[in-house]
């Protein structure tokens, strides 16, 4: 697909890198010459220096003949204006980055009025990810499918628990419910296992199960921690603003530390239900005074990766059960060894969202991608597909279907009824199915998973 990205900052660069890797024809427009040159030098795509809001630059970038424009500058209004111009010039679809909470609350009106295909909000997406992890503290990562009815969760196999030494075919008996292991990360190796695979202590295990069974599974593994009730947020960023709103609605006690006086006053006025402290959240004395060690969860979101990482290591040493650390550079993740510390990257979450959208756009007439999540450090993809009449495997028992190597069907959603599949189950028109595969294999349609007939 031909895609034009307006804005080459952190989010724009991450989207361009991901979509270039997917094989799309990408052009990035940025009015900062050094940014445009860096993108041209480091990514296999075209870069143009200029204002993406001018028709002349849009024509040079090929917007009139493009399939999609993604406007992700730092200004919401400019992004929406770019999308209006792009649609008027004949672009197929347009997506605007919209970050302001005021706009987010009335997005359904803006989308219709401006002709936007959809919008993206990296900060809101990151806050939602943090909130979901706080709901179930025993998991390292949590991805949703089937409208939230199915979860793939990342769990550490600990010495002596139910997973340690168990073969995958024995797990249903051990948990007394159907579960499906879609991937296992063991050191530097990643496996898409069959039923004979045996788990070991230290493995990162990606379990697919109905959302209603997650608490039962965690209890069986010895995880009895309840969702966070007392939360400390260090840094009053826009991510913190979205997260505070979500937590307060859920009845969570929120304490927020922000060093900038003006921002602290704004947050104090906006969230009367939260305790807002104007202080340096990286100061050891301040953390002691605010009883950081007694919190159920602490989120580091100061806006600086280095500060967030150092803070997370210090707070982790206090014994806080759950840590959430906002970072832009995901490669810093190698510095974090604490399994209770979750690294959240708004730009990466947004890039993943755009890949899912583009894959669905590519195949809007077939069994298109509904949801896409990356697992095991990006080495494994979990994709949810609609099952249409064109699906080759419809109506057949799974034991009679040949799939390509390293591909698994992890779950079937049939009108809201969740099926963790066995050999006698079938895939029917109207279902959605979750497929696990190596990330290097590009799957656009459900028919891409089937082995060629002899």
Instruction: Summarize pLDDT for 43-79 with one digit per residue, the tens.
Output: 999 999 999 999 999 999 999 999 999 999 999 899 9
pLDDT of residue 334: 58
> Distance (Å, rounded) from C-alpha 426 to C-alpha 417?
13
Q: What is the pLDDT of residue 263?
A: 96
User: In this predicted structure, what is the pLDDT of residue 373?
Assistant: 85
Is the distance from CB of 412 to CB of 421 less than 8 angstroms? yes
Is residue 12 pLDDT above 90, yes or no?
yes
Are 2-120 and 230-320 the same fold in CATH?
yes
CA angle, corner 408, sides to 402 and 409, nearest 5? 95
Q: Which two tokens stand for residue 183?
A: 């991937």
Give the residue extent of every domain in the chain. Answer: 2-120, 230-320, 351-449
**Mean pLDDT confidence for 172-178:** 85
Pick the CATH number of 230-320 from 3.20.20.70, 3.40.190.170, 3.40.50.720, 3.20.80.10: 3.40.50.720
Q: Rounded distance, CA 382 to CA 420, Å?
A: 15
The listed CATH number (3.40.50.620, 3.30.70.100, 3.40.50.720, 3.30.390.50) that belongs to domain 2-120: 3.40.50.720
Q: Which two tokens stand for residue 71?
A: 């406007």
Mean pLDDT of 215-244: 87
Tell which wins on pLDDT, 119 or 418.
Answer: 418
Q: Are strands 230-234 and 297-300 parallel, antiparallel or unpaired?
A: parallel
- pTM for the full predicted model: 0.79
Of 132-146, 272-286, 348-362, give the range with the top mean pLDDT: 272-286
Residue 367 has pLDDT above 60, yes or no: no
| Side-by-side strand order, sheet with 380-386 | 369-375, 380-386, 432-438, 407-414, 417-419
CA 198 to chain centre: 28
pLDDT above 90 covers a percentage of the chain that reads 56
Higher pLDDT, 223 or 88: 88
Of 141 and 34, more confident: 34
Task: Give, rounded to a whole angstrom, the gap between the first and last alpha carbons of the chain.
Answer: 32
Task: Assess whether pLDDT exceeds 70 at residue 105.
Answer: no
- Give me the mean pLDDT over the 414-432 stretch: 92
CATH of domain 351-449: 3.30.70.1450
Q: How would residue 402 be classed by pLDDT, with cut points 50, 70 and 90? A: very high
Query: Is the pLDDT reported for residue 454 higher than 50?
Result: no
């Amino acid at each position: 697909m031909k895609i034009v990205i307006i804005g080459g900052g952190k989010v724009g660069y991450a989207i361009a890198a991901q979509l270039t890797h997917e094989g799309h024809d990408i052009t990035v427009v940025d009015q900062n010459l050094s940014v445009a040159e860096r993108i041209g030098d480091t990514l296999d795509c075209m870069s143009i220096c200029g204002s993406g809001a001018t028709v002349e630059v849009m024509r040079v970038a090929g917007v009139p003949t493009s399939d999609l424009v993604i406007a992700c500058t730092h200004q919401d209004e400019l992004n929406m204006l770019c999308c209006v111009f792009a649609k008027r010039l004949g672009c197929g679809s347009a997506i605007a980055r919209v970050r302001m909470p005021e706009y987010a609350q009335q997005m359904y009106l803006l989308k219709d009025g401006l002709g936007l295909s959809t919008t993206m909000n990296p900060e809101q997406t990151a806050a939602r990810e943090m909130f979901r992890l706080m709901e179930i503290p025993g998991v390292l990562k949590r991805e949703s499918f089937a409208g939230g009815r199915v979860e793939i969760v990342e769990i550490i196999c600990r010495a002596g628990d139910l997973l340690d030494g168990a073969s995958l075919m024995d797990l249903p008996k051990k948990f007394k419910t159907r579960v499906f292991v879609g991937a296992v990360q063991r050191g530097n190796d990643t496996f898409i296992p069959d039923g004979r695979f045996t788990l070991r202590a230290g493995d990162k295990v990606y379990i697919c199960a109905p959302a209603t069974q997650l608490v039962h599974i965690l209890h069986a593994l010895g995880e009895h921690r309840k969702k966070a009730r007392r939360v400390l947020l260090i840094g009053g960023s826009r991510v913190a603003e979205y997260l505070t709103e979500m937590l307060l609605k859920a009845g969570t006690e929120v304490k927020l530390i922000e060093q900038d006086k003006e921002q602290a006053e704004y947050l104090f006025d906006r969230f009367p239900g939260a305790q807002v402290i104007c202080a340096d959240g990286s100061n050891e004395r301040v953390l002691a005074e605010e009883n950081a060690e007694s919190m159920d969860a602490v989120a580091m979101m100061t806006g600086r990766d280095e500060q967030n990482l150092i803070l997370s290591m210090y707070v982790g040493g206090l014994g806080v059960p759950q840590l959430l650390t906002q970072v832009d550079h995901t490669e810093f993740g190698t510095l974090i060894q604490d399994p209770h510390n979750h690294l959240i990257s708004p730009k990466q979450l947004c890039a993943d969202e755009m890949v899912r959208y583009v894959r669905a756009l590519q195949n809007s007439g077939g069994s298109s991608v509904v949801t896409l999540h990356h697992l095991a450090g990006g080495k494994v993809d979990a994709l949810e597909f609609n099952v249409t009449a064109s699906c080759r495997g419809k109506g057949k028992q799974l034991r009679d279907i040949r799939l390509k190597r390293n591909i698994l069907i992890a779950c079937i959603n049939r009108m809201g009824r969740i099926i963790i599949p066995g050999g006698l189950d079938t895939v029917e028109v109207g279902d959605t199915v979750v497929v696990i595969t190596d990330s290097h294999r590009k799957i656009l349609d459900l028919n891409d998973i089937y082995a060629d007939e002899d």
